[in-house]
Amino acid sequence: MSSQAPTSANAARVPDKRGGDAGAATRRERPGARVWWTVIVVGLVGQLAWTVENMYLNVFVYDVITPDPNAIATMVALSAIAATVTTIVVGAWSDRLGRRRAFIAFGYLAWGVCTAAFGLLAPAEGVVAAPLVLAAVVTVIALDCVMSVFGSTANDAAFSAWVTDATTPGTRGRVDGVVAIMPLLAMLVVFGALDGLTRAGEWRLFFAIVGAVTSVTGVVAWFLVRDVPRPAASAGPTTTGGSTLARIVRGFRPSTIRANPGLYLSLTLWLVVGTASQVFLPYVIIYLQRWLQIESYAIVLGVSLLTASVISVLGGRLMDRVGKRRMLLPATALFAAGLVGMFFARDLVSVIVAASVALGGMMLGIASISATVRDQSPADEAGLVQGLRMVMAIMVPMIVGPFIGAWVISGAGQTYTDLGVVKPVPGPEIFLGAAAVLVLVPVVAFVRSRVERRTR
């Protein structure tokens, strides 16, 4: 990463007096139709595959292999490490080459194949026999790590960097507002179209459908995605130069952090919000099914996801007007209020309301941070920044968050009885645990503001 002050369209922008940025003059810019189609098609299908990995694979392990929450937490943590290392390497590599399309297309193809392969691990009798549980857990975790390598190559490294390449500070609020809702829309699609298969134990067909759609999207991406030409000043070798390894190392040097304090503090904010979300998200379906015993939990998730998507899209448009940073604290407060509401919610309606508020605040907060990070990304190093994002926003949260959740679950001691067997189950305490983590957001935001004022 360059230790020089960034000067391109992707460079950091100085906040204006209203909390916006100098790119506000370009807020009337509109992304082209090809950009929108790529964001919607490639982004949505990528999140479909991640929904399976981040949520339904946890349900698969819980229902078919073992109800031990530590098995889920271990799987989430190791796959996050694999995804992060991949994104760091491929992100810097694609920066050096100046191309993203091939990584996106071929990554999606392989990603789909790995997703479909999970179906081969589903036992014919419905539940893994007790002597084979350890072997089954190890196999699922190993395949999850391989799948995460291809998924991160395609989505986290190449596609996310391409979005930075294809947008400007004046358009990133609305684009990131849409990107932020893709996980919610993906959950909605999976819940509405495929949840019945999982409830019927048709795991092979479930994984096969999602895998096929993901691979087909890789073919579509080859024809849809267009690499964004570099500015004339940086055509050919990148402005920072060096091998892929040198570029990776540069991103973690103390001198680079000192030269880009706003960027690294924004990534720290992402770490906090991401950790809070990972305290409850891996266990939320199990909580709705087993603790609240809401049979129509797909309705709960569907309505709340749609409502949260509307909040995120409208908030993204407002973000381009009032400033990305000014949206962060209100969004965090909304997220925390929804989590507290989930702790108290017991009936269908109250759960829908609380979940809508929590998810809407979460997505709007992530959109605010994501758009800010794109603005602060030095020229020609969007891919490397995505690698840093994976460390701060994905790997650390997915290691720390699920284990905080597992610790809360074990400490609360909530159980349910299934066919005479007492099993641990996530309780509402996981939402208070997530809300407690969010207390750090205003602290880090204050530090970022102080540091950036001192730097200016």
- Asked, for residue 273, whether it belongs to a domain, the answer is yes
- Asked, for residue 9, whether it belongs to a domain, the answer is no
Per-residue pLDDT tens digits for 25-70: 344 567 778 888 999 999 999 999 988 887 788 888 888 888 777 8
Q: Are 239 and 233 in contact (CB under 8 A)?
A: yes
Type and span of the H or E element at 422: strand 421-424
pLDDT at 230: 63
Q: How far, CA to CA in Å, does 88 sit from each of 131, 183, 381, 385, 395? A: 38, 22, 11, 8, 11
Q: Are 76 and 282 in contact (CB under 8 A)?
A: yes
- Asked, for residue 237, whether it belongs to a domain, the answer is no
The SS3 of residue 424 is strand
**What would you measure as the largest C-alpha separation in the chain, in angstroms?**
70
Within a 10 A sphere around the Cβ of 255, how many other Cβ atoms?
A: 10
Q: Which of 414, 423, 412, 277 is nearest to 355 (CA)?
A: 277
Type and span of the H or E element at 415: strand 415-418
What are the phi and psi torsion angles at 125 (to 5°)?
-85, -5
- Is the predicted pLDDT of residue 228 greater than 90, yes or no? no
- Asked, for residue 407, whether it belongs to a domain, the answer is yes
Name the residue with higher pLDDT: 217 or 312.
217
Tokens at 366, concatenated:
């992530």
Handedness of CA 228, 230, 235, 236 (dihedral sign): negative
pLDDT at 181: 77
Q: Which of 74-88, 184-198, 412-426 has the lowest mean pLDDT?
A: 412-426
Q: State mean pLDDT over 203-217.
A: 94
Question: What distance in Å separates the CA atoms of residue 418 and residue 195, rounded to the nearest whole number?
Answer: 21
Q: Are 175 and 39 in contact (CB under 8 A)?
A: yes
Question: What distance in Å separates the CA atoms of residue 354 and residue 46, rounded to the nearest whole number?
Answer: 27
Range of the domain at 431: 29-229+258-455
Helix residue ranges, H only, 323-428? 328-344, 348-376, 382-389, 396-412
Question: What distance in Å separates the CA atoms of residue 198 and residue 191, rounded to the nearest whole number?
Answer: 10
pLDDT at 18: 35
Per-residue pLDDT tens digits for 386-427: 778 878 888 888 888 988 988 888 887 777 666 566 677 888
Within a 10 A sphere around the Cβ of 126, how many other Cβ atoms?
A: 10
Rounded to an integer, what is the distance from CA 443 to the centroid of its chain?
A: 23
Q: State mean pLDDT over 194-198.
A: 86
Name the residue with higher pLDDT: 320 or 335.
335
pLDDT at 7: 30
Per-residue pLDDT tens digits for 236-271: 334 445 566 777 777 778 888 888 888 899 999 999
Residues shown for the chain: 456
Give me Rg for the CA atoms of the chain. 21
Q: State mean pLDDT over 323-349.
A: 91
- Asked, for residue 248, whether it belongs to a domain, the answer is no
Q: What is the model's pTM?
A: 0.69
Characterize 401-427 residue by residue with b for buried, 16 or more Cβ atoms within 10 angstroms of its Cβ, and e for exposed: bbbbbbbbbeebebeeeeeeeeebbbb
Q: Are 219 and 105 in contact (CB under 8 A)?
A: yes
- Is the predicted pLDDT of residue 95 greater than 50, yes or no? yes
CATH number at residue 450: 1.20.1250.20
Confidence band (pLDDT; 50, 70, 90) for 184?
confident
Name the residue with higher pLDDT: 70 or 354.
354
Question: What distance in Å separates the CA atoms of residue 417 and residue 424, rounded to the nearest whole number?
Answer: 9
Concatenated DSSP letters of 178-239: HHHHHHHHHHHHHHHHHHHHHHTT-HHHHHHHHHHHHHHHHHHHHHH--PPPPPGGGSSS-S
Total domains present in the chain: 1
Q: Are 157 and 90 in contact (CB under 8 A)?
A: yes
Q: State mean pLDDT over 272-279.
A: 94
Q: Are 213 and 45 in contact (CB under 8 A)?
A: yes
Question: What distance in Å separates the CA atoms of residue 201 and residue 45, rounded to the nearest whole number?
Answer: 23
pLDDT at 438: 96
- Asked, for residue 19, whether it belongs to a domain, the answer is no
Concatenated DSSP letters of 143-157: HHHHHHHHHIIIIII
Confidence band (pLDDT; 50, 70, 90) for 223?
very high
pLDDT at 222: 94
What is the number of alpha carbons within 13 Å of residue 182 lying toward its C-beta? Answer: 24
Confidence band (pLDDT; 50, 70, 90) for 233?
very low
- Is the predicted pLDDT of residue 209 greater than 80, yes or no? yes
The neighbouring-strand residues paired with 416 are: 423
Q: State mean pLDDT over 224-238.
A: 62
Per-residue pLDDT tens digits for 137-149: 889 999 999 999 9
- Asked, for residue 17, whether it belongs to a domain, the answer is no
- Asked, for residue 294, whether it belongs to a domain, the answer is yes
pLDDT at 30: 74
Within a 10 A sphere around the Cβ of 135, how many other Cβ atoms?
A: 11
